[in-house]
Amino acid sequence: MGEKLQFTELDQYLFGQGTHYDIYRKLGAHPVKEGNQEGVYFAVWAPNAQGISVIGEFNEWDEQANPMTKAGPIGVFETFVPGAKIGQLYKFFIIGMNGEHIYKADPYANESELRPGTASRITDIRDFKWKDGTWMKNRQKFDETKDAMSIYEVHPGSWRKHPATEEDEKGFYNYRELAVKLAEYVKDMGYTHVELMGIAEHPFDGSWGYQVTGYYAPTSRYGTPQDFKYLVDYLHRQKIGVILDWVPAHFPKDAHGLANFDGTAVYEHADPRQGEHPDWGTKIYNYGRPEVKNFLIANALFWIEECHVDGLRVDAVASMLYLDYGKNDGQWVANKYGGNQNLEAIEFFKHLNTVVLGRNHGTVMIAEESTAWPKVTGKAEDDGLGFSLKWNMGWMNDFLEYMKLDPYFRKFNHNKMTFSMTYAYSEKYVLVISHDEVVHLKKSMLEKMPGELDDKFKNLKAAYTFMFCHPGKKLLFMGQEFGQLREWSEERELDWFLLGEEKHRDLKDFVRDLLKMYRKYPALYGMDGDPFGFEWINADDGDRSIYSFVRKSPTKRNNLLVVCNFTPVDRPDYRVGVPKKKQYTQLLDENGMTSKKVFKAEKQECDNRPFSFAYPLPAYGVAIFQY
């Protein structure tokens, strides 16, 4: 129970400026004591409402029982309801500007009723006892430009499921069960972080959480807000970071959500050319309105500061930056200079990233941005957007196009695998194979590969080796590490039964070897953003479709030489040029970690280098050497 609350003049001022960073402690529903009465303080922003009352299980949903009073000119309504209790459902009953009757869930609610119900639930999120102090202290030293980062992207509802029952037709794991099982798996594999999809409350399972109605509420599908905090806390105690998908680009039109909140456009632009995505059937936030910016920035801080999350992956950034994104002529409005850049969204990103990262050292803000917009990861003061990292969609498209090809045609597309190095240092990148690449008839990673089943596994091992040795952080969607055959569906759990088959187990073990090697050798991550950290040995061997390059360590010790063969041709005496006349110890081949065979460089020219050595390179073979 907190002490008495009220929406003060200072609250009004800060909220009106868009800088009330813990506004979620005031708006919403908060169990408090007024005098000797226990109850709940409710507050909601609805600037054009004629009147509002709070209705719920505490007053039999009576629209007259608990009217709210307007606290000042900004349009916040508040009231204290004695006797209202944690666990009870509620909504706001709003009389709109034109007298219409509107029933809305609380935009700042910390818990929601399980869908298909749409009411908010009173809860107290402050009563959780955190035990992740060591992680939180160490987090401040984390530096994404110098530290390893390999992310396992997970949709909690379909990673694993219980058998369905009549009471529980979906068989979801609770956050607490998920914590234990997921931590065990992720730790064994060697990922540094998990990225969780669909955590903020959303009405429709099939949206995967990208159409949010409860920005401040962990979805009740998997338990309570306390259960969610337990998941984060437990993962932290197992030394695993947690990133959430976050969706500030748009919101759905569901009647109980943010759309047309008080009968007028409150969170969205009133003009549909600015306020709607025709393709997605969703509303676009009005980033020029301080209270709307405040809602979103405080929400990012809520997940990071209140729920201890280590970073946010910001969805659909391009759709926010371009006013004409997904629109035809006549469907959008130019900015004041006549251009298609959304000036308010640019300002929003600079504000957001500066505040979040400035207040929370060691956290990350990751942009999913698919265009060539400049300086996405540049500093805000240098006219950048201020993100920590950006998804490398260009690399991903080229890489997948190349890997899908019949090996015979790869020689004509050799530059698809080398082109990414021409822009590798223009941003700070994450290489991603996300859920988007394994749905909508795009096939799973294994099924994208050419050839018979045996060939598919060999191709995929070579692909993953190339990916893990290429500069950039790593992200792999769940199931792709063991060769899921079917496309992903949120309706069912991953096909774990495949691990009963040797080939799938072998692929999983190989990915685990790559992940462990990635973390062990700073050459693979310590100089991702430094052109001196990468050097081609041979980028032009198109006829044989072989790539060789060096990754250098920041300490100059334990540098790595990497060779990948993307054809089914055996090269029993393949010769590779090397930077120095040293000993080269093989750490990994297509069978995983190896017995550390040693090769001595000799004075024989190869790949335009004076020194080289020869070794057997099998069909679809890969090799990582340490020197």
Helix (H, G, I), strand (E, B) or coil at 377: coil
Amino acid at 321: L
**Alpha carbon distance 378, 372 (integer Å):** 13
Active site residue 528: no
Amino acid at 425: Y
How far does Cα 465 stand from its chain's mean position? Answer: 23
H-helix or E-strand spanning residue 214: strand 214-218
* H-state helical runs in 254-366: 272-275, 290-301, 317-321, 343-359
How far does Cα 113 stand from its chain's mean position? Answer: 25
Q: Which of 144, 195, 315, 427 is catalytic?
A: 315
> What are the beta bridge partners of residue 76?
45
Cα–Cα separations (whole angstroms), residue 306 to 62, 143, 455, 494: 33, 22, 48, 31
Cα–Cα separations (whole angstroms), residue 245 to 105, 288, 311, 554: 22, 23, 9, 31
Q: Which residues are CB-contacts of 44 (< 8 A; sequence separation ≥ 6)?
A: 27, 28, 52, 68, 76, 77, 78, 92, 106, 107, 108
How far does Cα 609 stand from its chain's mean position? Answer: 42
Q: Which of 132, 368, 398, 427 is catalytic?
A: 368
Active site residue 368: yes
Q: Which residues are CB-contacts of 67 (< 8 A; sequence separation ≥ 6)?
A: 51, 52, 53, 79
Q: Give ∠ CA 287-291-295 in degrees, rounded to 5.
A: 85
Q: Are strands 241-246 and 311-314 parallel, antiparallel or unpaired?
A: parallel
H-helix or E-strand spanning residue 457: helix 453-469
Residues 63 and 111 sit within 8 Å (Cβ to Cβ): no
How far does Cα 413 stand from its chain's mean position? Answer: 31
Q: Which residue has the tokens 């009405």?
A: 203
> So which residues are the catalytic ones?
315, 368
